Structure 1
Amino acid sequence: MEIAGVISAIVIGLIIGVLGRLVVPGRQHIGVIWTILIGIVAALVGAAIAHKLGVADTKGIDWIEWLIQIGLAAVGIAALDRSRARR
């Protein structure tokens, strides 16, 4: 993977992670690095799911793909936050 690909994955992960945090109600007790990592994983898994569903390559903005990715990020952030709250 080229440096541009790594930088774009981090930026997209950050955006998806922040949007996922906005969806989850309340204050989350996880850091920025975890938000980015969850966002990157959610972006990759969400893109794969959207591709399997056939909604990944549309004309214009892929809103369904974005919604899948943000939903996965929200679930990941809520799960990590709850697992850390139990400690």
Structure 2
Amino acid sequence: MSLQGLLIWSALGLVAGILAKFIMPGRQGINPITTILLGIVGSIIGGKVGHLIGWGVAGEFSIKGIITAVGGALIFMYVWRFLFGKKG
């Protein structure tokens, strides 16, 4: 992934993190900065996976790119909540 692609996925991750937080059911207990960072990481991971399976070009703004970024952010937030969420 080029630097430009990484920057585009990071910008998309800002939006993806916020959308993922609204989509994810229940109370996350994640502050806004963590939400944005999880969204960025999740969208980059989602973008890489989407590119590997041939679902769009990495670093391209498109409907598929937005769906991939939000999906990656959701998955990453679920993993984060599973690992670091409050137990009980």
Q: Does TM, normalized by the shorter one, top 0.5? A: yes
- The residue aligned with 1:53 is 53
Report the secondary structure of 2:27's partner residue. Answer: coil
- The residue aligned with 2:73 is 73
Q: Alpha carbon RMSD of aligned pairs, Å? A: 2.8
**Paired residues of 2:16 and 2:69 also in contact (CA < 8 A):** yes
Moved over 4 A (4+): none
2:87 matches 1:86: yes
- The residue aligned with 1:64 is 64
- Matched to 2:40, the amino acid is I
TM-score, normalised to structure 1's length?
Answer: 0.70
TM-score, normalised to structure 2's length?
Answer: 0.69
Q: Where does the alignment leave 5 or more consecutive residues of structure 2 unmatched?
A: none
**Paired residues of 1:19 and 1:70 also in contact (CA < 8 A):** yes
Number of corresponding residues? 81
- Matched to 1:26, the amino acid is G
2:5 matches 1:13: no
**Paired residues of 2:13 and 2:73 also in contact (CA < 8 A):** no
2:12 matches 1:38: no
Larger Rg: 1
Q: Where does the alignment leave 5 or more consecutive residues of structure 1 unmatched?
A: none
- Matched to 2:13, the amino acid is G
What's the CA shift for 1:43? 1.4
